[in-house]
Structure 1
Amino acid sequence: MTRTNSLTNRITSAVVTVLLGLSAAACTDSSSGTPKACSGGPVWVEGQGSTEAAGFMRVQTPTSATDVKGAVQSGFQDTTYLISFTAPTADAETFIADLRPEEALRANTPRDSKTYTTITPWSHLGLPEPETEQRVRTASVCPPCIKDERRATVQSITIFIQDIGDGRARVYLKAF
């Protein structure tokens, strides 16, 4: 029985992965590989950026932060908030520690930038996908799970931090 359930889970997972891939491919311009608008799919909310994303996540970017970018995407079921900035590595690490990740940041194995797709692309902000970059560490946090009352309405925050050299780091946060 366990073997049957395992096979069923693998098949279900494969089907979902294929469907998500097809959905993402349908929303990509085949000539340039950049995301395009799809009817009925997620849409970027005009006029909402880093201020709204930081407000939703209840974070304050470090005073040393530069190149702060953000966006809000209204999706099928959830609204997704993106915020990214660069800062001295020490300030970025302090900022990340305040999010109280459930696990230590771990090295991210870069994915192929030519084939990697996502429904909420960082390219909307003119940034590369952190999953495709070198020297990136990642973690996640579920604020309600760790009883972080400051962020009780935030379901999940995915964290990426990239060493960009010269003692600086780029922080990427994606939350819903």
Structure 2
Amino acid sequence: MTRKQRWVVLLAIVVPLVLAGAAAGGLHWLREWDRHPAPDSGRPGSWMTVSSEFVGEFSRVRPPASAGEVRWAYQKGFQDDTAYLSFRLPPGEEERFLADLGTAVEPSVESPVDSGALEGFRHAGAPDPGAAGPLREGSFLAEPLPGHNKRLAAKLWLATEADGGARVWVYGMDAP
């Protein structure tokens, strides 16, 4: 085999390997980009920068003016968007808050907060509901907002704190 033929064979082997490696690297980058979209990109899975008022309107749960330590997050979904809201009610405010909300809460059984909701609360910078002690939970289904075609399914958890106040966590998802 001549020197020229060896180079042709070598190039015939090396070039496809280099191209295959580049294609695999590109596909890996595209998959990572798809699985972890940039914040505020509006792509499914991206965390959006919105106001607490927006999250309150979306979730149909507005923290009372007396609420403190308000934390929120909003994630754009492929079909359904999700909102996460947490706040602390001062002592004596829980009953009025629940009456205004129009939902009952009952003691939780098993593991009440799923991993998706926990991730959202962590993203919002809210305390972990699993570390809060005994939780009570409630849920409600709300009609679509004007101009929207999806209802809202919301779940909330409450934990009484040592001073008699309450910590509230709300997870809301729009649903067809």
Question: Would the TM-score normalized by the shorter structure come out above 0.5?
Answer: yes
Distance, in Å, in 2 between the alignment partners of 1:109 and 1:131 is 12
d(CA) in 2 for partners of 1:165, 1:68: 19
- 1:43 pairs with one of 42, 46, 49: 46
* Aligned-pair identity (%): 27
- Check whether the contact 1:110–1:134 (CA below 8 A) recurs between aligned residues: no
Greater Rg over alpha carbons, structure: 2
Spell out, residue by residue over 1:3-57, the C-alpha distance to the aligned partner (whole angstroms, 9 max, x if none): xxxxxxxxxxxxxxxxxxxxxxxxxxxxxxxxxx933752210x21422101223
Distance 1:112 1:169, change over 3 A: closer
- Are the counterparts in 1 of residues 73 and 120 from structure 2 also a CA contact under 8 Å? no
Gaps in structure 1 of 5+ consecutive residues: 1-36
Change in Cα spacing, 1:162 to 1:112, as seen in structure 2 (3 Å) is closer
Q: Report what 2:115 is aligned to.
A: 117
SS in 2 for 1:54: helix
Unaligned stretches of 5+ residues in structure 2: 1-33, 38-43
Instruction: Say whether 1:143 aligns with 2:142.
Output: yes
Mapping 1:68-87, distance limit 5 Å: 68-87=70-89
TM-score by length of 1: 0.61
Map of 2:102 onto structure 1: 100
Contact 2:55–2:84 under 8 Å retained in 1: yes
Give the partner amino acid of 1:125.
A
- Please tell me the residue identity of whatever aligns with 1:108: S
How many residues matched? Answer: 131
Q: 1:153 deviation in Å?
A: 5.6
1:14-25 equivalences under 5 Å are none
Per the TM alignment, residue 59 of structure 1 is displaced from its structure 2 partner at its CA by 3.9
Once the two structures are TM-superposed, the CA of residue 79 in structure 1 deviates from its matched residue by 0.8
Equivalent of 1:175 in 169, 172, 176: 172
TM-score by length of 2: 0.61
